[in-house]
A and B are shown apart, each in its own frame.
Chain A
Amino acid sequence: MAEVNPTPGQKSSRIQISDGALIPEQGEKTILSAWNISFFGAVALLIILPAITPDPYLKIIQFIPDGVLHTFEVTLASICFALVFGLIAGLGRISRNVVINRVATIYVEVVRGIPLLVQLFYIYYALGKFIQVPRFLSAVIAMSFCYGAYLAEIFRAGIQSIPKGQMEAALAIGLSRGQAIRMVILPQTIRVILPPIGNEFIALLKDSSLVSILAVADLLRRGREYASTSFMYFESYTVVALVYLVLTLFFSRLVALMEKRLQRRRRETRGDSGAPVRAAS
């Protein structure tokens, strides 16, 4: 899990292992960096393989693009709803209202304790007993519900990383708690939580392959369809894996760049090289 460093400005001595991120280490700038080798290697394979053996590779590559489209649709829709769930639940987690706080905490605990695959089955098949939700919608609901819980923890940690004095100063000039959170706390939180949210986005992109079990025609599903009609399992899944790799590596680089820009802007406004908030590793 990506975690937010609770004390910005201080070096964290914690070891953080995140499952979603392939964010390149800073300083890895040589041409033969791990990221360059993996990314351009995958791209090269996706070009070379069809060039050398158009049958079946070219056919596979022509077959899967609308799968990629579905993967993107599921991912984007899910992350949007997950951000909404996450923000609400994250605010609930820091609410002083006991009921709201407890509900939000239970949501986070329960959802994080159930595997995403089980949640997908549950919403589509188990709840199908009462209400039949369309496949795509089931997939988006399950993914955003699940990721909302993880994002809630990022929001909570981000908000709590803002010094207590900020809230006090906001209250002291007469702002209500809601105004203080909206105008003072959240704007400062965004900068801290953008990188870990980027990580979650990448993790979600990968986990979106799970929705293929609901027969949503995503990238993995399209690969499987091709494989099961042509019996070319090795070739089909090789292409699927390479496409996923290119996508996640591309987005991880994007997140890394965004993180760097945030740090640079921070350093510029501070006029020093103060320890940057390294929120994701």
Chain B
Amino acid sequence: MNRVTVKKATKYFGRVKALENVSMEVKKGEVVLIIGPSGSGKSTLLRSINRLERLTSGEVWLDEEQLTHHQSDIRRIREEIGMVFQNFNLFPHLTAMSNITLGPVHVKGMKREEADTIAVDLLARVGLSEKAESYPDELSGGQQQRVAIARALAMSPKVMLFDEPTSALDPEMIKEVLDVMLGLAKEGMTMLVVSHEMGFARAAADRVVFMDQGEIVEVGTPEELFASPSEERTKRFLENIL
């Protein structure tokens, strides 16, 4: 069953083409890594999946629901799509705990105690139990990103989107975030990850998608794509980053 389906997605920012006729399917439980040079449209693709960007044309489906339809209740659909940003985007005026419970309480209408229980569990899961009452300012980048992941998980999403989750982090903090992501992948979470973490790709990704200039150039398993890319553009890109 397809969890996420993108059909002929095209996006222009004014006259600048960001996506051109991109189609892809992500099955339930699948982990898909999207790589490509900067400006290749990978973040735009990810952001159009929860409609932070509106497509110029094309469709995005979550299970049986088309979320690009103008009548679709995007707010409700967004509940089911977790998103993790490059810059964490934690709410600085709220504690780690309140960052996590904001969605469950105000979107799902959950009781505060119930939401607190969930938040405590999630904080334990990302290894930050003792930081529940800390404000984002008091946390390191890696810790903030782990809270951000917990915040997204608190909505029990059907799919998680990661937009370069480790590129704003110092090297020594990357692993703690990737470990959390690996754990999620093992538990069967459907994940779309924009990242160039090859180690993570090899360990967790079912497929790797290479994008360039707004198009999908090549798709394959990590082994296929990294070892023997068939397209010239993929080869050149991989030579540069490996």
**B-facing residues in A165-195 (Cβ within 8 Å):** 165-166, 168-176, 179, 183-184, 187-188, 191
A165 near B89 with CB under 8 A, answer yes
Which residue of chain A lies nearest to B154 when distances are taken between CB atoms in the complex? A173
Chain A contact residue count (CB 8 A cutoff): 21
B155 near A269 with CB under 8 A, answer no
The answer for the CA separation of A166 and B90 in the assembled complex, in Å, is 7
B50 adjacent to chain A (CB < 8 Å): yes
Chain B contact residue count (CB 8 A cutoff): 29
Which of B58-66, B75-83, B189-197, B218-226 contacts its partner?
A: B75-83
A115 adjacent to chain B (CB < 8 Å): no
B110 adjacent to chain A (CB < 8 Å): no
Which residue of chain B lies nearest to A190 when distances are taken between CB atoms in the complex? B93
A165 near B87 with CB under 8 A, answer yes
A271 adjacent to chain B (CB < 8 Å): yes
The answer for the CA separation of A270 and B92 in the assembled complex, in Å, is 10
The answer for the CA separation of A280 and B89 in the assembled complex, in Å, is 26
B137 adjacent to chain A (CB < 8 Å): yes
A168 near B89 with CB under 8 A, answer yes
Which residue of chain B lies nearest to A177 when distances are taken between CB atoms in the complex? B75
The answer for the CA separation of A187 and B92 in the assembled complex, in Å, is 10
Given A174-B107, A175-B107, A179-B106, the answer on whether A169 and B89 have CB atoms closer than 8 Å is yes
B78 near A184 with CB under 8 A, answer no
A174 near B52 with CB under 8 A, answer no
Which residue of chain B lies nearest to A176 when distances are taken between CB atoms in the complex? B75
Chain A 237-266 interface mask (CB, 8 Å, partner B; 1/0):
000000000000000000000000000000
The answer for the CA separation of A31 and B197 in the assembled complex, in Å, is 60
Given A173-B151, A174-B155, the answer on whether A270 and B83 have CB atoms closer than 8 Å is no
Q: A residues near B, CB below 8 A?
A: 163, 165-166, 168-176, 179, 183-184, 187-188, 191, 269-271
Known: A173-B155, A175-B102, A191-B93. 8 other contacts (CB 8 A): A165-B89, A172-B52, A173-B78, A173-B79, A174-B107, A174-B108, A174-B155, A183-B106
16 contacts across the A-B interface (CB closer than 8 A)? A163-B87, A165-B89, A166-B91, A169-B90, A170-B91, A172-B50, A172-B78, A172-B83, A173-B82, A173-B151, A173-B154, A174-B75, A174-B155, A179-B107, A269-B135, A271-B138
Q: B residues near A, CB below 8 A?
A: 50, 52, 75-76, 78-79, 81-83, 85, 87, 89-93, 102-103, 106-108, 135, 137-138, 148, 151-152, 154-155
